[in-house]
Structure 1
Amino acid sequence: MYLREDRHYLADHPGMVPVTTEQGEELRKQIGATYYIECSSKTQQNVKGVFDAAIRMVIKPPQKQHEKRKKPRQGCFLNILCGRNMVRHK
């Protein structure tokens, strides 16, 4: 989030472009994720929201209508893109 407005970061990292919200949403759809949530560990903006969503997914995962669970889920998968992972090369 903050990388989009951080002129010093962008000046220090030529050729790097922050991922847009639209690109994040598109990736969410491609990988079949339930949520795309932007946050900033630097400013703490929406960090709690990321963990709240992860907890909700573990406690009550969404069930597709055509799926009937035969076995309960075991384990958890959480994909968080942080820091340098939130930028892409031009």
Structure 2
Amino acid sequence: SPGAPETEVKAVIVGDGGCGKTSLLVAFARGDFPKVYVPTVFEKYTASLQVSGKPVKIHLWDTAGQEDYDRLRPLSYSDANVVLVCFDVTDRASFDNILTK
């Protein structure tokens, strides 16, 4: 209905560095694809969309995939409604790391 409050959703994306997390989020939130790879420490993107005709604001939390940040990554999980797990389909280790990181 018009004027209905926007539902807010927190989505955290995790996976190894270089597997495409940031590219996926930027393509979704901004409709653009990054031309250059720049490792992320932490970024947050916001997008508004309609779900079953109702407004939803989705906060997309992009986490660092590099091992140096393994201890910081869990700090972004608090209050997450969705966790999106990504891996590089050409790198078996990237898939195996899903269970350990």
TM-score for both structures, normalised by structure 2 = 0.29
Greater strand share, 1 or 2? 2
- Larger Rg over CA atoms: 1
Greater helix share, 1 or 2? 1
